[in-house]
Structure formats: structure tokens, C-alpha cells
Amino acid sequence: MKRTLGLAMQKQIGIVNPDEQAELATLSALAATLRMRDAETQGHSERVVKFSLVLGRELGLNLTQMKSLEHGSLLHDIGKIGVPDSILRKPGRLTNVEWIRMREHPLLGLQILSGVDFLKGASLVVAQHHERWDGKGYPFGISGKGIDRNARIFAVVDAFDAMTSRRVYHLAETFEAASAELRRTAGQQFDPEVVDAFVRIPREQWIDCMNGG
């Protein structure tokens, strides 16, 4: 993966700090390790980082919050490093037992990032990105504003990318269909405030991001 993502966001807001090169190297190493385990990760991670930063700016996040959101988005699936290949790369449906093992990846990711001070904020995104507004998510069953705000932001863009990307198990949805689904599930799966912010952003801006802009 390109060593973009931390530096790219800083360039967009006019800040490039040479002292952060070690942090960027750590991010690149973690991202490269994940990419080796899951080939689908690279394009997905690059898109959700971009989507997250667009939505984070709309919600008025400060620089520290934006960096944590960016890093958490990039590394959200880092826990999949600990998931066996027989499950991670299985072409068909997972069994109930396999699905339980797959659902451990947020906790595995939290363990991997523990002790890395500059990723403390990002680790909350990694640990909580499968939580739901109504408390029916995993691994903790946290609800509402008890969920880290960046994790709530990421959950929306992760779902949006999943719906609008072609996968082995489904065709890509249109922007309109994906946007409608986010609005339908606001207050259940997703933070309504975050979905409202998503809807405020012009369709053309999202389409541009989807196309690599």
C-alpha cells in the first residue's frame, strides 16, 4: 500500500511534520502485513480512509480526531491477521463456528495495537467499528454515544463502501440505493447525526471519491 494515508491528510490541511516519519513507517508496515493476508483489503482501505476524512471534515473534527479517524480507518481490519486462512479466504459462506471466529477480529486488532501510543485513538475505531447504534453489534454490544465517535463515523462509510463495491457475493449497489439504506437504518445500525452529515455532502463529491478523486 502507498505510504499515503497519514501524510496525505496532513498535506490536505497544510501540515507536514518530518518527525512523524517513524509513525508513518509503522502504519505502512501494519498495512502491508494486512494486505498480504487479505488481498481485498488494499482498495477497500484506501477508499474508506478517503470517505472517512470527507465525513469527518463535515462533522467538524479537529486535527487530532482526524488523525485517529484516518489511522483507524486504514487499520480497521488489522485483527484479521489473527484469523486463520481457512476462514479469511474461504470462498463460500462461513459456518456459525467460523463466523464466531471471524467476529473476534476487532478484539484481536485491539490487542495488536495495544501499547502503540500514537494509535490509541485509532484502536477505538479498530475495536468498535462493528458496534451498532442500537447495541446489537459486536464485540462489546455498546450502544449510542457510548460508541467512540470515530467508530460511528467509520461504520457509516464502511457500510457505504461495502454496498457500492462489487464483491464475490454481491453486485455493487448504486449511490442512490446505498444512501437510501443508510437513511433507512439511521437510529438502528448507525448514528443518525453521522448519517445526516453523510446526506448533506453533495452526491457529486461522493461519486468523485468513489472514482478515485
Per-residue pLDDT in tens (0 to 9) along the chain, 213 residues: 343 445 444 544 444 556 678 888 888 889 888 888 766 656 788 899 999 999 999 999 999 999 999 999 999 999 999 999 899 888 888 999 999 999 999 999 999 999 899 999 999 999 999 999 999 999 999 999 999 999 999 999 999 999 998 765 556 789 999 999 999 999 999 999 999 999 999 999 999 988 876
Query: Is residue 170 classed as helix, strand or coil in its secondary structure?
Result: strand
Torsion angle defined by CA atoms of residues 33, 40, 77 and 85, in that order, rounded to the nearest 10 degrees = -70
User: What's the whole-model pTM score?
Assistant: 0.87
Cα dihedral sign, 138-139-140-142:
negative
Domains of the chain (ranges plus CATH)? 5-21+38-210 (1.10.3210.10)
- Cα-based angle 202, 133, 211 (whole degrees, multiple of 5): 30
2: amino acid identity, one letter = K
Helices (H), the chain: 5-12, 21-37, 41-58, 63-74, 85-88, 96-102, 105-113, 120-128, 149-164, 175-185, 192-200, 203-210
User: How many other β-carbons are positioned within 10 Å of the β-carbon of residue 129?
Assistant: 26
Give the relative orientation of helices 21-37 and 41-58 as an angle to the nearest 10 degrees: 130
- Of the candidates 2, 71, 74, 88, the residue with the CA atom closest to the CA atom of residue 37: 88
Contact call for residues 125 and 151 (beta carbons, < 8 A): yes
Grid cell digits, residue 155: 461504520
43: amino acid identity, one letter = G
